[in-house]
Amino acid sequence: MVIQRLFAVVLLLVCIGLAMMAWPYQAPFSYEPVGPRAFPLLMLALMGISLLYMAIRPTPIVHSEEEPALDRPTLIKIGICTLLLLVFAGLFEPLGFVLSSILIGIPMARLYGGRWLPSVVIITFMSIALYVLFDKVMDVPLPLGLLDVLEN
């Protein structure tokens, strides 16, 4: 219980520090109605409220039998997942959103028990659908990378 509260307080202090760093940020241009600092500040505020609740709640979090143990195989999966996300971040610009999402999404689905064919089909469909949603519908530009030749 004490470790959980200490963890919450330390992360709350980190959130406060990050919010203080993000508050004065002003971008030279803005294509969003609320500006570029609203999203990080909103996320930090939500995290801060949750962490404050974790720090002062009356009872400890009790884990049930259905939750996986934090054993070696689980930690390895978490490590591989983190590595895949770092590779995604590195390939995002050169390969573009669609190809990098497919390239990282399929191993991620396989890592968590997905079969090959459904993983390939669903990840490919989701990558294309998310690109269309963000780039065309919500007007948030995403890089096409190698698929740039397909754009009119």
**Is 80 exceeded by the pLDDT of residue 147?**
no
Averaged over 79-107, what is the pLDDT? 92
CB atoms within 10 A of CB 56: 10
Residue 123: pLDDT band with limits 50, 70, 90: very high
- The greatest distance separating any two alpha carbons of the chain, rounded to the nearest whole angstrom, comes to 58
Return the pLDDT at 138: 81
Q: What's the pLDDT at 30? A: 60
CA distance 37 to 22: 7
Is pLDDT at 144 greater than 90 in this prediction? no
Which residues, 6+ apart, have CB-to-CB distance to 1 below 8 Å?
Answer: 60
Q: What does the pLDDT look like over 6-58, one tens digit per residue? A: 888 999 999 999 889 888 877 666 666 666 677 788 888 999 999 999 888 87
> CA-to-CA distance for 128 and 23, rounded, in angstroms?
35
CA-CA distance, 68 to 123, in Å (whole number)?
A: 25
User: At residue 5, does pLDDT exceed 90?
Assistant: no
Give 3-11 contacts, CB < 8 A, sequence gap 24+.
4/54, 4/60, 4/61, 5/54, 5/55, 7/54, 8/51, 8/52, 8/54, 8/55, 9/51, 9/55, 11/47, 11/51
Q: What pLDDT is stored for residue 31 in this prediction?
A: 62
Q: pLDDT band at residue 109, thresholds of 50, 70 and 90?
A: very high
User: Among residues 85, 95, 87, 121, which one has the least CA distance to residue 106?
Assistant: 121
Contacts of 35 (CB under 8 A, 6+ apart): 26, 27
Percent of the chain with pLDDT over 90: 39
In this prediction, residue 28 carries a pLDDT of 66
